[in-house]
Structure 1
Amino acid sequence: MSRRRVKWLAVFRTPVGASSAVLLALMFALAVFGPILWGEAASEFDTGAIQQGPSAEHLLGTDQLGRDIFHRVLVATRLSLELALLSTAIGLVIGTILGTAPTVLPRRLGRTVTAAVNIAVAIPGLLLALFFAVIFGVGTSGAVLAIALAGAPSFARLTQTLAASVAGRDFVSAARVAGVGRVRLLTRHILPNIGEPLVVSGTIGAGNALLAFAGLSFLGIGVQAPDYDWGRLLSEGLDRIYINPGAALAPGIAVVIAGLAFNLFGETVAAVVGVRTPSRKTGPRPAPVTRDAAAVDSGPGEPILAVENLRVAFPGRSGWTTPVRGVGFTVHPGESVGVVGESGSGKSLTALALSRLIETPGVVSADRLEFAGTPLLTTSERELRTLLGTSMAMVFQDPMTSFNPTMRVGRQLAEVSRHHQGLPRRAAFARAVDRLRAVRVPGAERRARQYPHEFSGGMRQRAMIGMGLMGDPRLVIADEPTTALDVTVQRQVLRLLAEVRAAKRAAILLISHDITVVAQTCDRILVMYAGRIVEDLPTGDLFTAPRHPYTRALLAAVPDMETDRDRELAVIPGRPPEPDRMPVGCAFAPRCPVADDRCREEDPVLGRIANAHRVACWHPADAEPPRVTALVSAEHDRAATVNPAGGGA
């Protein structure tokens, strides 16, 4: 059974969802079969039974032409539902367009649209409906347009609020940085994430539209004879309400029941709406600007991850921008590799490229990009889905934005096993509880039924690691896993990664801004700057023989217990270059104290200067390492007791 079908079946698992679904099903069945079964009886004139009261032959009596009122109420279901749904759909589409216009249009024009929507929302909907009904004229078509346009401002205001809240999320900002266009940003990232409240609002709008149509038809400016809906029947029965109450109450009760069914069903169906749209294959794109390939360190045995000349490029107005330029490295089973560098150095983009998470229009290319012996760029997505879903785990920087806030944690973990391993629902949930228990989440079974906001920051990060363990990970990519956590929780998370490494012999690729955190955890460190690896060295050499000026500057910027508090903290002067304004020669030359003319004219290639030590610099530094060495070395020694995985591969 497909995941989507399972989600739709979840609507019927609650009493409210089941009862409202039954009501809607009965109404739609009545709308389809009512005119067929009772259409003739509802239109049949009986001059001998004009305006009779309820009887065995006529349950609700007859009207002024002798027609059966009960049959007419049943037959009117079709037109009432059709008009309500049509006007709601039109209003929702118009409102969504108006609400998302500020995201796509230029700022000034977007503000104009927002101001117009705010003015329209301030006007009562009934007045708007009457206003538009006068403009479009009396009749069914005019009433549909009037109610649709009257409801559009509320949909637009809701869409604006939701779109603004989602537009500020990290993943949308990342998409903007990645070069995603405005229209694709809207359709791919914003609309799918605001679907739930829009659907709830749409179902409520359908109930409101039923009432609005009843009101317009009651006033005589809606549905016209010989057609009839519940509102017109209510108007006809109101004249004799004291003689035959059923003639007026029956269509009114029908409107109330229909509105209630739509509202209740909307609350449950919202859980299955707003799913991510499937990615679509695109045609070939122009080749991005490339750099010199970085040599790959083969190392002992076959690597679990081999990267050579990896490039990530995005199109821009002036051509292709390449924020990741010729990255190359290997990771072997059981090895822990750290990636450090300032913000914008390409660390996270590299991780996303390895995980096949770079979205269109980004382009990933490489001379070699293999995981577990499988080429990631030439293998089809269907074949890679199981491999990456079970053998590669991704621990994101902020688990609060990585977990779906509307789904329970256990259910999100269980999705991995259901999707990639084909486990039934109960077995997948049991495995999720077991994985939460494995990452030391107390009360795992109870916690699995909680939502992400009920977890603390450290507990969410453990749950994220547990999600990675739902499969059989051979590589764990941890992108800033200790950000915004206190030092005690940081140590617990790092200890947990080390235990996963020891138990599974899984390789770890740890990305961090904190060079001391990486030094405590990893066997080898990759220092990235401006989209390239400028130094690749064992952790021991980091403290005794850092060769690149950038590596030494990063170490010097780390304060220790002996740092003079009366002096300003050490910083690296200047700022990294923009990806689309990369200088000729070494990218670090404008900030480097030892740069010369050759550095400004020629870009150094990452080359080996010692065993397992590579550096991209024309003047590898041989000076004494920074004073922070003693402190970091001591922390590294203490971390050896935390890291049961021991040395490298």
Structure 2
Amino acid sequence: MRRWLAVARTPVGATSAVLLVLLAGLALFAPVLWGEQAGAIDTDALQQGSSAAHPLGTDALGRDILYRVLVATRLTVGLALLATVVGVGSGVVLGALPAVLPRWAGRLVTSAVNIAVAFPGLLLALFFAVIFGTGTTGAVLAIAFAIAPSFARLTQTLAASVSGRSYIAAARVAGVGRFRILLRHVLPNIAEPLVINATLAAGSALTAFAGLSFLGIGVQAPSYDWGRLLGEGLNRIYISPAPALGPAVAVVVAGLAFNLFGEAAAAVLGHRQPAVRRGKLTVPSTVDDVADEGVLTVRNLRVSFPGPNGWVTPVRGVSFAVRDGEMVGVVGESGSGKSLTALAVSRLVERPGVVTADRLEFLGKPVESTPDRELGTSLAMVFQDPMTSFNPTRRIGGQLAEVSEQHQGLSRKAAWQRAVERLESVRVPGQRARQYPHEFSGGMRQRAMIAMGLMGDPRLVIADEPTTALDVTVQREVLRLLARIRAERSTAVLLISHDITVVAQTCDRVLVMYAGRIVEELPTAELFTAARHPYTTALLAAVPSMDTDRDRPLAVIPGRPPEPGEVTAGCPFAPRCALAVDRCRTEEPVLAGIDPGHRVACWRVEPELVATGGEPDSANQGGTA
């Protein structure tokens, strides 16, 4: 319900709600209020034009067209909804049949659906209208059976995408029958897109029904709908356009209402957050230590998105620096803000997201005002999924060459040669430049992505989980490649990873993030001996080693990280921390230096307590870092 209310505050949601309420009110009350006036024959007012007494004029029997348009709302909308229900229901049944029928029978149904989808919907409606005959019943069935094939295809596609999931396989192994799997596991998981498309189909059905009535195939006298009224008024359009204009506007408004409602339903059922801004975004200043100068300087970086209940800030006051030739690692659980920080630094956060910072400078220049050409050649981004980062329809070499063509102004031939050289520099044979992404292995795609970043002369490479989904051998190759690039070119590297041991082995410094903030920064040489924040030590303890006792359960961090909108007063890690005291639950600690190059955001930094997990004594409950 909260999602519906939030969507109703958007322009699309509010407009659709107003129009649907208007249609529902007319459908319910118009025949009661104006039914007699709509059917009253006045021989003294035959085929009059627009006037004060008859705003839309009168028909051949002197009946008021405005009243007839209002009264026709019930029949028009009712028949359109009936045709939609029949069509959607038939389509879902046809689309679901292959999942429960024997394979040969399922193929026959699928083939029939494919043939029907190949024909335009209006052509199918006219074909079925001829078969079922003129009249209301024939028009409803014609439109319903014209809608059914597209919904059958949609149901088949959605069901096929769900049928490969692990829980479907588990149900089959457990002996659950096909029909039960369809009802309990498949249809509930594809219901949302079906409902959204059904709302859109209602608008199309209303338009199609009006079209059939306009052609004389649909509603027959003495009944009338908007399409029949439009057909009657069209004969006089050059003399008096008002009789045709009224039902035409009604069809457009009703179709718009259903389509806008479909968009609103997509925002709710598709779990999309509407861009509702409640109140002005306030940017509090930070009291964290000022980051040192470097290739990249970040101070009090905040990334916010509008939500139904106000602004949500997944990145909250991050401050750090990356110096020339340095490799800095960023670690933390999923949702801690690591990747969003990298996107903000790279100027890749799109609206409605808002990025603010006291300082956000790259090579001494504000990132916001740095030209795209300069930023594109000096800063490289390596994404965690190279398969989705490459265009599957273009050759690898062409995509790399495009970087030099756009940012460095090289000719096509020179850019291609540079792409081949960059691929060879990351140990990808140059002849592979003519191949497509799907012809590369996961490790080669990742190296090709790094080569794309090297098409310019980057001073900073941001690697966002570059070893995700790679086996340990390929992971090692990718990490060695980043280290070699750093050594040969004095390129700074910001490495984002879930694996704290990878960061410890490859980086100079480590930034530990939790709930959108840096909770500890220290040199990696001191990571295993001098880590002071309970979250950092918990991450280290959760990594098994050769000395781990196999007879004891693996160490885990209890609970889960808070969602961005769940962060309240106090330390966000306090609910999961065994060392938390009252102050931790009421006041969030600042990131403060305790040693050179070592910053911690914790009210309890006693090393002996953090290492042993012991309870704090009463004498130190008020201590600060």
Pick closer, same or farther for the CA change 1:520–1:112 going to 2, 3 Å: farther
Q: Please tell me whether the aligned partners of residues 535 and 616 of structure 1 are also in contact (alpha carbons under 8 angstroms).
A: yes
What is the deviation of 1:388?
A: 2.2
* C-alpha distance 154-465 of structure 1, shift in aligned 2 (>3 A): farther
The equivalent residue for 1:232 is none
Contact map agreement 1:353 1:364 (CA 8 A) in 2:
yes
Q: Give the 3 Å change call, closer, same or farther, for CA 401–159 of structure 1 in structure 2.
A: farther
**Which residue of structure 2 lines up, in the alignment, with residue 577 of structure 1?**
562
Q: Is the 8 A contact 2:278 2:308 kept in 1?
A: no
Task: Name the residue aligned to 2:126.
Answer: 132
Instruction: Report deviation, 1:462.
Output: 0.6
Q: Please say which of residues 362-371 and 120-129 is displaced more in the overlay.
A: 120-129
| Cα distance in 2 between the residues matched to 1:166 and 1:561 | 41
Given candidates 297, 313, 326, the residue that maps to 1:322 is 313
Query: What number of residue pairs does the alignment pair up?
Result: 394
Query: Aligned to 2:355, what secondary structure does the other structure show?
Result: strand
- Of 123-132 and 431-440, the range deviating more from structure 2: 123-132
Counterpart in the other structure of 2:45: none
Does residue 526 of structure 2 align to residue 526 of structure 1? no
Q: Which amino acid in structure 2 is aligned with residue 330 of structure 1?
A: A
Matches of 1:467 and 1:395, distance apart in 2 = 9
1:477 aligns with 2:462: yes
Contact in 2 for aligned 1:538/1:613 (Cα 8 Å) = yes
* Equivalent position amino acid for 1:417 in 2: S
Seen in structure 2, the aligned counterparts of structure 1 residues 109 and 354 have a Cα distance that, compared at 3 Å, is farther
Contact persistence 2:276–2:308 (CA under 8 A)? no
Q: Deviations over 1:23-57 (max 9, x none)?
A: xxxxxxxxxxxxxxxxxxxxxxxxxxxxxxxxxxx
Cα drift, residue 316 of structure 1: 1.1
Aligned equivalents of 2:87, 2:126: Cα separation in 1: 25
Question: Could you say which residue in structure 1 is the equivalent of 2:281?
Answer: 288
1:155: how far off? Answer: 7.3
Which residue identity lines up with residue 365 of structure 1 in the other structure? Answer: T
Q: Distance in 1 between matches of 2:547 and 2:578?
A: 25
In structure 2, distance between residues paired with 1:431 and 1:495: 22
| Alignment partner of 1:589 out of 558, 574, 590 | 574
Aligned-partner Cα distance in 2 for 1:113–1:371: 59
Q: Is the 8 A contact 1:342 1:513 kept in 2?
A: yes
Structure 1 residue aligned with 2:340, among 338, 349, 355? 349
* Structure 1 residue 478 displacement after superposition: 0.5
| Structure 2: 5+ residue stretches without partners | 1-84, 97-111, 132-141, 163-192, 194-274, 613-625
Return closer, same or farther for 1:330/1:527 CA change in 2, 3 Å cut-off: same
Instruction: Please list, as runs of the form range in 1=range in 2, the aligned pairs for 1:588-607 lying within 5 A after superposition.
Output: 588-607=573-592
Match of 1:237 in 2: none
Q: Distance in 2 between matches of 1:595 and 1:617?
A: 10
Q: How far apart, in 1, do the equivalents of 2:462 and 2:399 lie?
A: 19
Match in the other structure for 2:393: 406
Residue 302 of structure 2 is matched in structure 1 by 311
- The residue aligned with 1:429 is 416
Q: Residue 512 of structure 1 corresponds to which residue in structure 2? A: 497
**RMSD (Å) for aligned C-alpha atoms:** 3.8
Residue identity over aligned pairs, in percent, reads: 62
Structure-1 separation of matches of 2:565 and 2:148: 41
Structure 2 counterpart of 1:444: 430
Q: What CA distance in whole angstroms lies between the structure 2 residues aligned with 1:430 and 1:305?
A: 31
Rounded to whole Å, the distance in 2 between the matches of 1:432 and 1:473 is 15
With over 3 angstroms needed to count, the CA separation of the structure-2 counterparts of 1:494 and 1:444, relative to structure 1, is same
Match of 1:365 in 2: 356
Alignment partner of 2:607: what SS? Answer: coil
Could you tell me how far apart the structure 1 residues matched to 2:574 and 2:126 are? 67
Structure 1: which 5+ residue stretches go unaligned? 1-107, 138-146, 168-185, 187-281, 628-649
Report the alpha carbon displacement of residue 288 of structure 1 after superposing the two structures with TM.
Answer: 3.4
**Inter-partner Cα distance in structure 2 for 1:318 and 1:309:** 24
- Structure-2 residue corresponding to 1:608: 593
CA distance in 1, matches of 2:461, 2:330: 13
Shift of 1:114: 6.8
> How much has 1:160 moved relative to structure 2?
8.2
* CA positional deviation for 1:537: 0.7
User: Paired residue for 1:8?
Assistant: none
Deviations 1:402-437 (A, max 9, x none): 111111111111111111112222211111111000
* Mapped partners of 1:473, 1:127: distance in 2: 53
Please tell me whether the aligned partners of residues 478 and 511 of structure 1 are also in contact (alpha carbons under 8 angstroms). Answer: yes
1: distance between equivalents of 2:482 and 2:416?
A: 23
SS in structure 1 at match of 2:488: helix
TM-score of the two chains, using structure 1 as the length reference: 0.55
Residue 448 of structure 1 aligns to a residue whose secondary structure is helix
Q: What is the correspondence of 1:87-102 to structure 2 with a 5 Å cutoff?
A: none
Q: Which residue does 1:257 correspond to in 2?
A: none
| Cα distance, 1:453 vs structure 2 | 1.2
Q: 1:596 to 1:415 in 2, by over 3 A?
A: same
C-alpha distance in 1 between matches for 2:519 and 2:295: 22
The amino acid of 1:402's aligned partner reads S
8 Å CA contact retained: 2:390, 2:437: yes
Q: Spell out the pairing of 1:12-411 with structure 2 (5 A cutoff).
A: 115=92, 121=113, 124=116, 129=123, 131-132=125-126, 287-288=280-281, 290=283, 293=286, 295-299=288-292, 302-377=293-368, 379=369, 384-411=371-398
- Alpha-carbon distance in 2 for matches of 1:489, 1:570: 27
Contact 1:334 1:508 in 2 (8 A): yes
For 2:286, the aligned partner's letter is: A
Per-residue deviation, 1:327: 0.5
Distance (whole Å) between structure 2 residues aligned to residue 530 and residue 136 of structure 1: 64
